[in-house]
Amino acid sequence: MPIYTVKPNEAASLKDIDPNATGEVKGKKAAKKLLKQNIERMAELQNVLYAEGKHALLIVLQAMDVGGKDGAIRRIMSGVNPQGVRVASFKKPTEEELAHDFLWRIHQETPQRGMIRIFNRSHYEDVLVVRVHNLVPEAVWQKRYEHINNFEKLLADNGVTILKFYLHISPEEQKDRLLARLEQPHKRWKFNPGDLKERKLWDEYMTAFETAFERCSPDNAPWHIVPANDKWYRNLIISQKIVETLESLNMKYPQPVEGLDDVAIE
């Protein structure tokens, strides 16, 4: 299945990656069947992750507006135990958060061992929206790529496996999804006129994303660019990568205490 993993210091051109790609998957019906299998397997692996308590998983989701982050979380994580998963959504920083370094609010949401944490937007907003809107001087945000790499290395050195996904949609797909929010009554509440202003900055955001991919894709936390125009394919490819990553940890249930065979419960 096509998923583009950015290598360290490699330039990534989003124009060269087809957001409509679906690889060899034979349609939506086949994808749903495979997704169901992945969701079931993920539930099994999450149970071992929690029981063993040696690893944690951090899933970072970034995308343009209406890129599908919420939908991906809702569908892909539908089978896991909610006690072992938490979603953190990073919006405009509060005054207290702005009074600290830009990673302060992020570090508080990182997962403890045995847990899965999902970032709906993330620390990368400080080299994306901050850059595009000139919220801080360039000399400030330019240093943040190195800070981010050091931060993610710290997490990795402490048992956190990091999966970073960019949900790659086209401007045409974004337009269709925005129109759907306007035209369908049950979706109108989601429509934010501010999204239209951000849409006009598409090229600037693509440049910012590509720089982030190039400068923050080390071996221990590479970026994965997911063709996401087709939601069913997006869900399948992300779920598959999560399953493969959890399986690669070679987790095992802890050994039970001795003498359990002789225990009698009256």
Q: Report residue 189 as tokens.
A: 């509440």
- Beta carbons within 8 Å of 183's beta carbon, 6+ residues apart: none
Domain annotation covers residue 258: no
Q: What is the pTM of this model?
A: 0.95
Q: Is 264 among the domain residues?
A: no
Instruction: Render each residue's pLDDT in the chain as its tens digit; 266 residues.
Output: 578 999 999 998 999 999 999 988 878 999 999 999 999 999 999 999 999 999 999 999 999 999 999 999 999 999 999 999 999 999 999 999 999 999 999 999 999 999 999 999 999 999 999 999 999 999 999 999 999 999 999 999 999 999 999 999 999 999 999 999 999 888 899 888 888 999 999 999 999 999 999 999 999 999 999 999 999 999 999 999 999 999 999 999 998 877 888 888 88
User: 150-189 burial string, b = 16+ CB within 10 Å, else e?
Assistant: ebbeebbeebbbbbbbbbbbbeebbeebbeebeeeeeeee
Which CATH number covers residue 217?
3.40.50.300
For residue 24, the enclosing domain spans: 4-252
d(CA 139, CA 176): 37
Rounded to an integer, what distance in angstroms lies between the CA atom of residue 130 and that of residue 217?
A: 20
Rounded CA-CA distance 3/59 in Å is 16
> From CA 249, how far away is CA 104, in angstroms rounded?
28
Counting the structural domains of the chain, the total is: 1
